[in-house]
Structure 1
């Protein structure tokens, strides 16, 4: 375990060139943009000098799937413009929608991904070995996909989940779940009622909250003074390197490097002491933070690599828009060519990220007849903006299409196994990111 020390000043990380703010942020950690003024403002440090990274136009919120009776109704669209703060280097979208609009009733259930449930179990096994917790709290606990493994070990646990429908699914599994958004006040109330947590897990939620400072203070309120906070979030360095731009959508208010995550954690009184690289979601980081401690060698090494990649300056962000344009061109070229040849193309999956890709590319049902999804909540609905029908997975075997475009490309290994039957009639799987890859009947990858 790393040597511990008291947190005296938030800016006193020795050996780190990345500045960390001390005291209160210069501006409230909520508003990035006042639409009436047109002035962009960093939600973490309050700076007004933001660099444009990529502008994807305007799209509807990615999880607002349409029912059939809404097909003739208008849809609101919101700008999808990623910028990076030149002061603290937090990459961010303007918070033009609220978490309440997205997460009060949510279409995503984590347990429908077998590989994600396995990932959660592996995490629990490793975290319990590392922390030996008596009480675990998970923030954004979804349908109990992770805490079910904690409960099976006989460890006391609590989920905090704002979406009533998925929280109810967790309770049906026997996972105690509080239906609320995490704020500093919520964290203090949970601590007063249940006691401090030895481990607080926050997986794939740190990008989803516009009030970074308030949320981080909520994490600090939950965790014991000698406890651990574990956060998984997509890694901006990998996103940019591999052109994974479909993960830019309105639910994700910000995107982290190790440097910007370190600064965000410090704003709420937590110190980044360790970091792991993960393959999930195309490339993620697992942040280990504590109220006391010092960054270890892995933290410093990743900070060094980020500096070399230019991610602590403007240099590393200038070529990303060109990578995005190439992904779009390659996918449209394939779909148009398939249509001209009389080939049928359908989709697999209806993830939020898929809707960024479909809307940015302007793909409609003339190029993608429909998509399927394992989640029955989405059956009979239509993708936002592009209005492509969502059907049960069995439809693929019935129709035997020539190509299946896999929208959750980050689950490539899992879905390649699930969709192996497509090869029985000579069908092919198509993965659009990081580059257009087509898997033929012999399971050999051909690159278009």
Structure 2
């Protein structure tokens, strides 16, 4: 019997069943194409007691994050987002040379490099050895470890408590949400701050962003469910910002309960929006599956028609979300010849499950395809600019979510 990992309830209701897929970051080498792949159910449910949306923990973080294919710094817009955050946090919290900042899941130093440049002491905690090495090469002190209570205690003894603990796009990635939350509390000073960025379930549901459901994401948060989760570690959410990143995220500002004070007006406003959307009850999840089916039919219909017309379609990007979309829609190289990615780690590999080749971005200009399917649609503005050259031969960009759009990159107008 499945139980809620936050409150232990057995009252879990269906939200979306996407079948079974391989883990989204297990890119295949050429040799592995002739080997079997393990697949796991991708079935999102919501707890009707605490309203935490979640996947069953079928894979462990160690299986995914010990060696990782995602390097944050390959997205220039994400690095710029991190720089703005650091500047804002320094001003908001009055951080200076005597301060100490810890980032959990610090990846390749994309964020803490800006802390280093400000002359502020910092430490990254990153479980993936390969991306952690990239951070150290960038001059960012980085500990290779998963965060738990023992790691938090070790860091606190070695460096003292942190004035600010940052956890961007990791709070959804841990199945032991209770232990991880206690780890956050163990890192932060009694009068310190915790900043968490995570995709907002409200926009995921409203904009049918179902491709962000994959096995690395064990849970999906509203502000209300995040409040309940953080409270288990003695942290209280006091403010929230709505962000455009990843299609719609929330930045939660939390503090130890003893110093938290009253929540901000904008936090109360977001809670009211979630309630109005029905996400604090079962009704808000009812239509999600139907909208998912519409996205699938529209994308497959477009790709089949393009193939029948003899038009070439290639992909841009090989993100985790793209692999959920490709597998759920059953897209293979007959409909998507290849995809490209800026990360050289992925070049020469193949997407999990669908076995689509991943090439260097220069291949698009060489082949001049009719259409480029943009898989990291959340970076639309950045990638439309990067891919403006596709218009030179009359090519078009295709965005699959929230509804299929075919765009002229020279004019950024919908042509279908």
TM-score band, normalised by shorter chain: over 0.9
Superposition CA RMSD, Å: 0.8
How many Å apart are 1:440 and its aligned residue? 2.0
CA separation of 1:185/1:447 partners in 2, compared to 1, >3 Å: closer, same or farther?
farther
- 1:318 corresponds, among 265, 286, 301, to 286
Matched residue SS, 2:34: coil
Instruction: Write the distance in 1 (CA, Å) between the matches of 2:121 and 2:152.
Output: 17
- 1:298 corresponds, among 266, 270, 274, to 266
- 2:170 corresponds, among 193, 205, 208, to 205
Matched residue SS, 1:386: coil
Q: Residues 143-186 of structure 1: CA distance to partner in whole angstroms, max 9, x if unpaired?
A: 00000000000000000000000000000011000000000111
> How many residue pairs get matched?
410
Matched residue SS, 1:347: strand
Contact 1:426 1:441 in 2 (8 A): no
Match of 2:39 in 1: 77
Instruction: Write the distance in 2 (CA, Å) between the matches of 1:132 and 1:300.
Output: 25
Q: Residues 27-74 of structure 1: CA distance to partner in whole angstroms, max 9, x if unpaired?
A: xxxxxxxxxxxx110000000000000000000000000000000100
Match of 2:380 in 1: 412
Q: Where do 5+ consecutive residues of structure 2 fail to align?
A: none
Instruction: Write the distance in 1 (CA, Å) between the matches of 2:219 and 2:132.
Output: 24
- 2:74 corresponds, among 96, 102, 112, to 112
Contact 1:330 1:436 in 2 (8 A): yes
- 2:194 corresponds, among 229, 238, 241, to 229
Match of 1:284 in 2: 249
CA separation of 1:153/1:393 partners in 2, compared to 1, >3 Å: closer, same or farther?
same
Q: Where do 5+ consecutive residues of structure 1 fail to align?
A: 1-38
Contact 2:182 2:233 in 1 (8 A): yes
Matched residue SS, 1:246: helix
The answer to whether residue 67 in structure 2 is matched with residue 99 in structure 1 is no
Instruction: Write the distance in 1 (CA, Å) between the matches of 2:287 and 2:353.
Output: 28
The answer to whether residue 304 in structure 2 is matched with residue 336 in structure 1 is yes
Instruction: Write the distance in 2 (CA, Å) between the matches of 1:447 and 1:330.
Output: 15
Q: Residues 202-251 of structure 1: CA distance to partner in whole angstroms, max 9, x if unpaired?
A: 00000000001100100000000000000000000000000000000000
Instruction: Write the distance in 1 (CA, Å) between the matches of 2:107 and 2:52.
Output: 26
**Structure 1 stretch displaced more, 213-222 or 293-302:** 293-302
TM-score, L = length of structure 2: 0.98
Contact 2:135 2:142 in 1 (8 A): yes
Instruction: Write the distance in 1 (CA, Å) between the matches of 2:94 and 2:328.
Output: 46
Match of 1:434 in 2: 402
Contact 2:43 2:55 in 1 (8 A): yes
How many Å apart are 1:387 and its aligned residue? 0.2
* Runs of 4+ residues deviating >4 angstroms: none
Match of 1:10 in 2: none
How many Å apart are 1:132 and its aligned residue? 2.0
**Structure 2 counterparts to residues 36-435 of structure 1, below 5 A:** 39-133=1-95, 134-291=99-256, 292-293=259-260, 294-435=262-403
How many Å apart are 1:188 and its aligned residue? 1.1
Instruction: Write the distance in 2 (CA, Å) between the matches of 1:440 and 1:278.
Output: 26
Instruction: Write the distance in 1 (CA, Å) between the matches of 2:393 and 2:22.
Output: 36
Matched residue SS, 1:52: strand
